Structure 1
Amino acid sequence: MPEIRFQIELPDGSQETCYSPSLVVKEYFAPGNEYALTDFIERSRTALNIASDRVQAKYGSPCGLALGQLAQIEAMAGKYNHVAEPKVRLLKFIE
């Protein structure tokens, strides 16, 4: 299963590298695009759950790394509750 990483820029300008065990994230994000934080979380949730489901279908158990990445993204979002209209930019995919 081809895995991929994607680099994002958070509302405070810091950058993070995220992981997906599947290229499905390319269907939900495009390099250079900016997403409202809530939209970014929803897209991440959908893509990473699909990725985890694909791992489960192939190997018999969900992908802990994908689910862990989703948990990190959701936890990160809480740090920006005070920011008006927080945005996340997808900088690039790392294959």
Structure 2
Amino acid sequence: MPEMTFLVRWPDGTEASCYSPSLVMHDYLAPGTDYPLADFVARSTAALQAAGQRVLARYGFECTSAMQQEREILDAAAAFDGGTVSVLSMEPPLPLPEAAGSRAVSS
């Protein structure tokens, strides 16, 4: 299961590198996007819970790293009364879709 990191900037300008055990984060957050604090918390915690469920389904045990990252996001967010959170980057990025007709055809 591919793991990933995402870099965020909190409302006070501090940056934090966050971890996910799954690329499912791309379904909830987009790099280069600013989210209202509550929206970021809702999206990121939902994504980390989904990532944890993927680990559970695949390996049969819960992902304590996803749970820890969710707790760290909730704790960090509690220090702010609003503002925005910027998602600066997500690594690895989503793979680019293959362009139609770009596949080689063997004869």
Tell me the TM-score normalized by structure 1. Answer: 0.93
Q: Percentage identity across aligned positions?
A: 42
- Give 1:79's aligned residue: 79
Runs of 4+ in 1 over 2 A off after TM superposition: none
Q: Which amino acid aligns with 2:65?
A: L
Instruction: Give the 3-state SS of the residue equivalent to 2:41 in structure 1.
Output: helix
- Give 1:13's aligned residue: 13
Count of residues paired in the alignment: 92
Distance in 1 separating the partners of 2:49 and 2:71: 11
Q: Which amino acid aligns with 2:34?
A: E
- Give 1:94's aligned residue: 91
Q: Say whether residues 1:32 and 2:29 are aligned partners.
A: no
Larger Rg: 2
- Give 2:54's aligned residue: 54
Hey, which of these two has a bigger chunk of helix by percent? 1
Larger RCO: 1 or 2 (CA < 8 Å, sep 6+): 1
- Give 2:23's aligned residue: 23
Flag structure 2 segments of 5+ consecutive residues without an equivalent: 93-107
User: RMSD between aligned alpha carbons?
Assistant: 0.8
- Give 2:98's aligned residue: none
Distance in 2 separating the partners of 1:25 and 1:94: 10
Tell me the TM-score normalized by structure 2. Answer: 0.83
Distance in 2 separating the partners of 1:59 and 1:31: 29
